[in-house]
Amino acid sequence: MILPGILASGISGHLGGNYTSLQTVTVGSGGASTVTFSSIPSTYTHLQLRIFAQTSRSGAITDGMDIQFNGDTGSNYSQHWLQGNGSAVTAYGYASQTRGWLGGSGGASGYFSANVVDILDYTNTNKYKTHRYLMGTDANGSGLIEIGSGVWLNTSAITSFTILPDYSPYVQYSSFALYGVK
Amino acid sequence: MASAPTYTPIATITASGSTTSVTFSSIPQTYTDLVIAGAFYETSSSNTSLQFNGDTGSNYSSTSLLGNGSTASSARVSNFPCIFWDRQGNATGYGTGVAHIMNYTNTTTYKTALLRYGYAGTWVEEDVGSWHNTSAITSITVGVVSGSGNLASGSTYTLYGILAA
């Protein structure tokens, strides 16, 4: 049995506590400029973030989505991704960034994006931290599909992270659900 | 930070005989997201797709990213009768795929699905699809919608529910 990107075993009823919902942020009517998960328990091996989101960025199909770990705003993030826009495919790579990259969300089109993000071995203090994501938004005639990965150049255990849009706040009904995977 | 185990198997369907589709019906409305894990192919190189709540109208759209080992490409369909899961088409042997259907019970937004499928040594694809409907999803049909052929006998599809805290 293979979870999306993460091996698991021992299915009985649910996955035997191997996949656990930790916290969910659902954006209310006032919108949200950032979404932060703090005091993340260190008792899991990996984290998975499942996102359903749209921002109020007008005239745009998508808005960028970024991540910062443990409040680090320094130039300590690098990332690569592959993106298809319905006709062309483009590969991107950036080093020494102040934010990690999670693809994007839907813009003010009425279509919400879907993002599944895996943050691997997040408590290990001997490794830089790596995340990967699959993201897409389709607005019936426009949209993006993207796969990517990034590294936070820090060996600290991840205890918190913040999700940030590039342009405009997240709108009502956007949701960010964090899970722990053993 | 509260915690609750989740990722619950709901049902598994194995295609048999000559069938163009299988359906998960009466899906519980007690989860946040749905995931379908599949090992499948088709009897002709058409495609496997998703439809929701029996809607066969042109109320779906998809954007795809595909790679065959030498070339990457992207494609889109709009106002289409399904969301592609295996757009490339595979009549050769079992490929594997995962489909994420997000926030499926909400009645405010259109529904978004994120899908992956690949056949080792041949190609891999990722798709995002929208169903232009705000209804809660109560059934999912997996089938050959655009094209000819059947689901290959023995193809399996397992539905999971994920509940956010």
Give A77 to chain B, closest Cα distance, Å: 25
User: Do the Cβ atoms of A114 and B102 come within 8 Å?
Assistant: yes
User: Do the Cβ atoms of B72 and A89 come within 8 Å?
Assistant: yes
Distance CA(B141)–CA(B23), nearest Å, equals 4
User: Do the Cβ atoms of A50 and B164 come within 8 Å?
Assistant: yes
User: Do the Cβ atoms of B129 and A22 come within 8 Å?
Assistant: no
Q: What is the pLDDT of residue A2?
A: 38
Residues 56-75 of A with CB under 8 A from B: none
Contacts of B128 in chain A (CB under 8 A): 113-114, 135-138, 143-145
User: Do the Cβ atoms of A137 and B163 come within 8 Å?
Assistant: no
Q: What is the pLDDT of residue B45?
A: 79
Q: Does B35 touch chain A (CB under 8 A)?
A: yes
At residue A155, the 3 state secondary structure works out as: coil
Q: Does B116 touch chain A (CB under 8 A)?
A: yes
Residue of A nearest to B65 (CA): A84
Please, which residues bridge with residue A120 across strands?
A: A130
Distance CA(B66)–CA(B76), nearest Å, equals 11
Question: Could you report the average pLDDT of every consecutive run of 10 residues in chain B (165 residues)?
Answer: 85 95 97 97 92 98 96 97 94 95 97 96 95 98 91 97 94
- Which among A57, A29, A21 is positioned nearest to A167, based on CA atoms? A57
Q: What is the pLDDT of residue A74?
A: 98
Question: Could you report the average pLDDT of every consecutive run of 10 residues in chain A (182 residues)?
Answer: 36 65 96 97 97 93 95 98 98 98 88 97 98 97 96 98 97 97 94
Helix ranges, B71-110 (H):
none
User: Do the Cβ atoms of A114 and B112 come within 8 Å?
Assistant: yes
User: Do the Cβ atoms of A134 and B114 come within 8 Å?
Assistant: yes
Give B44 to chain A, closest Cα distance, Å: 25
Q: Does B107 touch chain A (CB under 8 A)?
A: no
Give A151 to chain B, closest Cα distance, Å: 22
Distance CA(A140)–CA(A111), nearest Å, equals 9
Tokens of B136: 């809660």
How many helices, marked H, and strands, marked E, lie in chain B?
0, 13
Burial tier of B30 (Cβ tally within 10 Å: 0-12, 13-18, 19+): exposed
Q: Which residues contact A87 (CB under 8 A, 6 or more apart)?
A: B74, B75, B76
Residue of A nearest to B106 (CA): A173
Q: Does A28 touch chain B (CB under 8 A)?
A: no
Q: What is the pLDDT of residue A173?
A: 95
Distance CA(B13)–CA(A82), nearest Å, equals 33
Q: Which residues contact B71 (CB under 8 A, 6 or more apart)?
A: none
Contacts of B2 in chain A (CB under 8 A): 22-23
Residue of B nearest to A176 (CA): B164
A17, A39, A111 member nearest B1 (Cβ): A39
Q: What is the ipTM of this complex?
A: 0.95
User: Do the Cβ atoms of A21 and B130 come within 8 Å?
Assistant: no
Rg (CA), chain B: 15
User: Do the Cβ atoms of B103 and A135 come within 8 Å?
Assistant: no
Q: What is the pLDDT of residue B109?
A: 95
